[in-house]
Amino acid sequence: PARNAAGQVIATEVTNSVGGYPLAGLADATSTVRVAQATLPAGLTNTFGGAQQAATVTNASTDLSKDFGYQPSGTITGRVFNDADGDGAIDAGEPGIPGAVVELVHGNGDVIATTTTGPDGAYTFDHLPDGAYTVRVQPGSVPAGLNATTPTSLPAVVANGNDVIGLNFGYDAPTGAIGDRVW
């Protein structure tokens, strides 16, 4: 829709088969053009044009430069957890590790995002374009004395906007043993 300076909708248009949206018959004014997010297919992220753009019509002019781009996007989620039995899998009752820093690394090796795990050890990276990523726990961000029971770096591929779930990282406290022999 196009909105006037007072925020009132002055024109709406449904995109045609090639994504065009001719908002015709507008009076001379400065308006705001935006895409109604609720009308987009699920799983798309804006990659060009932002949420809205200003447009000015003067002397019945035409401005065809107000473009908006979208592409499929996915989410990568998982947990950093206290692997009490050391088996590398989340079992019932094994708590999350809050405050761990998880990094998202692009296929070219650059860290493109970081997040901190919540109270249940969960983390999320969302609105990701298709591509190859690596997710890793930042060294030293888990409590001292815990050892990894899973790899601390895992690959993830977002394809066609699909989500990658269950990239979990386990840590447990080292255990000792006492014994020798009885005779």
* DSSP calls for 140-166: T-SPTT-EESS-SEEEEEE-TT--B--
Q: For the chain, what is the mean pLDDT?
A: 87
Tens of pLDDT along 88-123? Answer: 999 999 999 999 999 999 988 999 999 999 999 999
C-alpha to C-alpha distance for 132 and 158, rounded to whole angstroms = 7
Mean pLDDT, residues 127-142 taken together: 93
What pLDDT score was predicted for residue 178? 66
Exposed e or buried b per residue across 100-137, where buried means at least 16 C-beta atoms within 10 angstroms of its C-beta? bbbbbbeeeeeeebebebeeebbbebeebeeeebbbbb
Tens of pLDDT along 51-64? Answer: 888 888 887 777 78
Alpha-helical regions (H) of the chain:
none
What pLDDT score was predicted for residue 30? 79
pTM of the model: 0.66
Closest among 127, 104, 106 to 116, alpha carbons compared? 104
